[in-house]
């Protein structure tokens, strides 16, 4: 959520940002918010003036009573009573207008960084850099579900019977590989100085609205019927929510955290042949990284975070590239975002395996996460998040890139301790 002062003083910046994000339909909101904010401040000013007048008259009543001027005291009491209803009406109006302003402000997207490429959708995202040589083996690489089935490692049919489409059972070595990758990702981030956390897997509605836009919430979140609780779509949601309505010590920043959680997503609109297997599903597990820092440090942390993911994938012999998200592909709260994509030898192209985002002060402003500063006054922190790894997409990349001609799968050295010393999976 933007600072209302930005709309008051420089509304053209907000309008230009809406155009860059191809959200021209929201342009009328700018003038609506400015007018509602003016009315709200007018109501507050009138209420404050009335309170001042009431306090003055109340003091005069006491003076009149002390002097025995009963008529003057009664006249003052009548005036105070007359002001009471007007003040109550102004307070109700001010609250109503403040709520309207906040609701409409929540729809206005964050101001994107000046370096973000302008484009309408993900087809206009821009490749930044490649890491590792993408290779296509001389033998045919099977579909990822077929590779898993060759090890008796997946059961989609039973999952459809118990849970519906978008779910799966992992078994045997494939299940162990899945858990090993997550364990390795946990230790990888701990070794880089991040504090390991396991957060709540359900959060309240006020936290949901604090960490994401309404559109994302509608398309992603599962609500627990009859309760003010939602299943998290990523551990970032509960990890950032942990600091709701807190004032952080400046000396304690940055907070560098890595969290594990299952994730639950509706995946509205999912389609395509590559999403029939385990590419896009309703339940998966993920290792995440989160940073809460001072505003002047967030740009540097953004680079550090996505490079962590690049280094993690390269340590497992998986070629990757980074792709900068264009303006139209950025979620409303994001200032800047870079996707990490892994090479698929079977498809002969890259596909998304993680996303790094700088949200500026948007989440902190919504959730009330401030940093204490005695000299300059308290200010809002900046928040960032990034995927370390999210099986089963990671499994797809891993299996395809480490598949051998005889159908076995090589286990890179860093992962072997988590796989009981195995150097490979044999069919």
Q: Fold for 4-105, please state it.
A: Helix Hairpins (1.10.287)
Q: Can you give the pLDDT at residue 268?
A: 55
Q: Can you give the pLDDT at residue 267?
A: 75
Q: 0.85 exceeded by the pTM?
A: yes
| 233 neighbors 184 (Cβ within 8 angstroms) | no
Alpha-carbon gap, residue 309 to 251, rounded angstroms? 27
Percentage of the chain modeled with pLDDT above 70: 97
CATH architecture assigned to 122-425 = 2-Layer Sandwich (3.30)
Residue of 222, 239, 244, 205 whose CA lies nearest to 166: 222
pLDDT, tens digit (0-9, with 9 covering 90-100), for 333-363: 999 999 999 999 999 999 999 999 999 999 9
Q: Can you give the pLDDT at residue 280?
A: 85
On the 0-12 / 13-18 / 19+ scale of CB atoms within 10 A, 375 is: exposed
Q: Can you give the pLDDT at residue 276?
A: 64
pLDDT, tens digit (0-9, with 9 covering 90-100), for 365-417: 999 999 999 888 999 999 999 999 998 899 999 999 999 999 999 999 999 99
Within the chain, which residues score under 50 in pLDDT? 273
Domain boundaries, the chain: 4-105, 122-425
Q: Can you give the pLDDT at residue 273?
A: 44
164: its two tokens: 């519906």
| 264 neighbors 200 (Cβ within 8 angstroms) | no
């Amino acid at each position: 959520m933007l600072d209302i002062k930005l709309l008051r003083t420089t509304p053209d910046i907000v309008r230009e940002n809406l155009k860059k994000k191809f959200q021209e339909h929201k342009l009328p909101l700018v003038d609506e918010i400015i007018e509602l904010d003016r009315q709200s401040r007018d109501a507050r000013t009138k209420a404050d003036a009335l309170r001042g007048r009431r306090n003055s008259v109340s003091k005069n009543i006491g003076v009149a009573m002390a002097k025995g001027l009963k008529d003057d005291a009664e006249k003052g009491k009548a005036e105070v009573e007359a002001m009471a209803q007007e003040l109550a009406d102004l307070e109700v109006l001010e609250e109503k207008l403040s709520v309207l302003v906040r609701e409409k402000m929540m729809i206005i997207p964050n101001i994107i960084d000046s370096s973000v490429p302008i484009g309408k959708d993900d087809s206009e995202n821009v490749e930044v850099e490649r890491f590792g040589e993408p290779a296509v083996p001389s033998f045919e690489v099977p579909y990822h579900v077929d590779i898993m089935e060759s090890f008796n490692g997946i059961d989609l049919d039973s999952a459809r019977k118990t849970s519906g489409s978008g779910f799966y059972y992992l078994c045997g070595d494939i299940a162990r590989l899945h858990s090993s990758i997550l364990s390795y990702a946990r230790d990888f981030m701990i070794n880089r100085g991040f504090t390991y956390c396991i957060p709540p897997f359900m959060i309240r509605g006020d936290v949901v609205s604090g960490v994401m836009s309404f559109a994302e919430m509608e398309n992603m979140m599962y609500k627990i019927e009859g309760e003010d609780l939602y299943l998290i779509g990523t551990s970032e949601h509960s990890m950032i929510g942990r600091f709701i309505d807190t004032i952080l010590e400046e000396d304690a920043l940055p907070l560098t955290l890595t969290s594990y959680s299952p994730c639950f997503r509706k995946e509205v609109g999912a389609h395509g042949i590559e999403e029939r297997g385990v590419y896009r599903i309703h339940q998966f597990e993920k290792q995440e990284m989160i940073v809460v820092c001072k505003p002047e440090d967030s740009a540097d942390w953004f680079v550090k975070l996505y490079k962590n993911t690049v280094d993690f994938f390269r340590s497992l012999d998986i070629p990757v590239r980074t792709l900068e998200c264009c303006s139209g592909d950025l979620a409303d709260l994001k200032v800047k975002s870079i996707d990490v994509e892994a090479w698929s030898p079977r498809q002969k192209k890259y596909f998304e395996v993680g996303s790094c985002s700088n949200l500026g002060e948007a989440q902190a402003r919504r959730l009330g996460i401030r940093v204490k500063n005695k000299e300059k006054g308290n200010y809002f922190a900046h928040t960032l998040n990034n995927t370390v790894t999210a099986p089963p997409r990671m499994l797809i990349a891993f299996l395809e890139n480490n598949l051998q001609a005889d159908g076995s799968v090589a286990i890179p050295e860093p992962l072997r301790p988590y796989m009981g010393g195995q150097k490979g999976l044999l069919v």
